[in-house]
Amino acid sequence: MRTTVGIVGAGPAGLLLARLLHTAGIDSVVLESRDRAYVEHRQRAGILEQGTVDVLRAAGAGERMDREGLRHDGIELRFDRTRHRIDFPALTGGRSVMVHAQTEVCKDLIALQLKEGHPLLFEAEALAVEDATTARPRVRYRHEGRDAVLECDYVAGCDGFWGIARRAIPERLGRTFERSYPYAWLGILADVPPSHEELVYARHDRGFALLSMRSPSVSRLYLQVPEGTDPDDWSDDAVWTELERRFETDDGWRLERGPVTQKSVTPMRSFVHEPMRHGRLFLAGDAAHIVPPTGAKGLNLAVGDVVTLARALIHRRDTGSDQLLDAYSATCLRRVWQAERFSHDMTALLHRTPDAAPFEDRLQLARLARLTSSRAAMTDLAECYTGFPLG
């Protein structure tokens, strides 16, 4: 099989890239190792930046997002039993974010691709990317029990942190930057309406907590826990009790409990691979970078990557120039490192390290007090949270 762009991975990065290329008249083939049901139900991010929302609308994938998604015009920071709201539109000239689960974005993009787009093959395991530095790169894959080869002009590695695309870049030509954190997030899904209309980020002496949601009737909540925690060690009652402690305020606000339907632990990691390009192989999304979830940047960074790549491929088709393709890695990495900085800063601001000294605790509180009393500081947070420019 032959195509212009071979896309490895049908997560949001690969699916959106395929959609952007289709609307521009560039053919592609998407290879996904998992089945459709798995892709459509794996729980991931749920916060869409303003730029991501705009891209999905322009790509024809925003109808259900606009109907079912929850627009949020701010977040609340809690510390010292007090509540402080950050008003996004007032600080950014009208920008906001949308709560809409990654699973729902994937469902809509899959439906569009299967109805209107080029081939999308599920249970097609990519085995290797070959000849990336030639004019005819190839992806070897296995589908329906047979080995096959996808010949292409370009390869987009959108297959996540554990995928095969990044391994096609020789170690001597790449460099990785990473950091692991000594804590994780214990997350729950609960059948109970959210106890607050916007996300709540809480800093507490016992650790961080986050109140989020998936819909008007489903809450998503997180607790900072030690790295390596087994979710089965926490009973539902223990989770709710600890959440109540960390969200407690002096104004009588209450956290509503409900049946827990899912419980999991998410490790915290920062990771960047440079460069994001090797010949005609281009990495996008988690294949190139990971951020801790505190800043809500993972999915949005993937969108920024594929918007940049689609723009470069269209420019190449229209002008014959490789200028934007040659600049792909540097262009993406400028945005990636700003997102890494913001995500790290938010994580350090709100989480308590296991060996934190009283001095460090006081510094955290001083930073939060400054952040919530300075319009300039609040503006910086609001601009970062609602999104860096795409491309």
Give the residue numbers marked as catalytic: 72, 201, 293, 297, 385
d(CA 108, CA 114): 10
d(CA 322, CA 14): 21
d(CA 279, CA 82): 53
CA dist list (Å): 227 to 205, 221, 239: 17, 18, 16
Nearest-CA neighbor of 176 among 186, 185, 168, 166? Answer: 166
Contacts of 361 (CB under 8 A, 6+ apart): 205, 352
d(CA 354, CA 80): 19
Contacts of 291 (CB under 8 A, 6+ apart): 270, 297, 298, 301, 339, 340, 343
